[in-house]
Amino acid sequence: MRTVILGASLLGSLILESTVLEYFKVAGVKPDLLLILVVFNALLHGCYHGAKLGFVFGLVEDVFIGKFIGLNALTKMLTGYLVGMGENKVFKENLLIPVFGLFTATFLNNILYVFLAGLAGVERNLAFYVWDVTLPTALYNACLAPLFYGKFYHSATKGYLRLSRY
């Protein structure tokens, strides 16, 4: 069931990002719904699951975008892994954790994106990417955290999104 819900969330997020969210741009940016899901998942289930979900979500996103396949897979995987490292070190019930976590994770994810894109030979305007894309997206994602974290937390600990024991 967890896989089905995550799969549906993945497709739903991709569709929303490519349609409805175009009308909800703030400061020229849309939220990164896939990253929000990856970060929540990593916060609640740790490095391994954070990295795994980040890789799958990122890869599907790359296939959907059709350019630089693997770039989002790697960045989301690394972000998921790094966020997951904090799983046992933070008080997950505190709402500030996902807010700050998402802000930091989005910032980190986008910086990694620029770095890896550079390694792959893709040129980016770093200043523009940091100030006009990364920062607003990080803020936007952080602002959305309180809206979804409660439900995700509940589902990931007691509902359909919890990990099976075996």
The rounded distance, in Å, linking the Cα atoms of 116 and 72 is 10
- Give CA torsion, residues 63, 25, 144, 110, to 10 deg: 50
Instruction: Let me know the angle formed at the C-alpha of 114 by 137 and 142, rounded to the nearest 5 degrees.
Output: 20
Single-letter residue type at 101: G
- Residue (23 or 91) nearer to another protein, CB: 23
The only residue of 1, 5, 11, 96 in contact with another protein, by rule CB under 8 A = 11
Asked if 144 interacts with another protein (CB under 8 A), we say: no
Q: Determine contact, residues 45/51, Cβ cutoff 8 Å.
A: no
Q: From the CB of 5, what's the least distance to another protein, in Å?
A: 17
- Residue (19 or 91) nearer to another protein, CB: 19
Which residues, 69 to 98, sit near another protein by CB under 8 A?
A: 69-71, 73-74, 77
The rounded distance, in Å, linking the Cα atoms of 53 and 117 is 21
Asked if 123 interacts with another protein (CB under 8 A), we say: no
List of residues contacting another protein (CB under 8 A): 11, 14-16, 18-20, 23, 55, 60, 62-64, 66-71, 73-74, 77, 116-117, 119-122
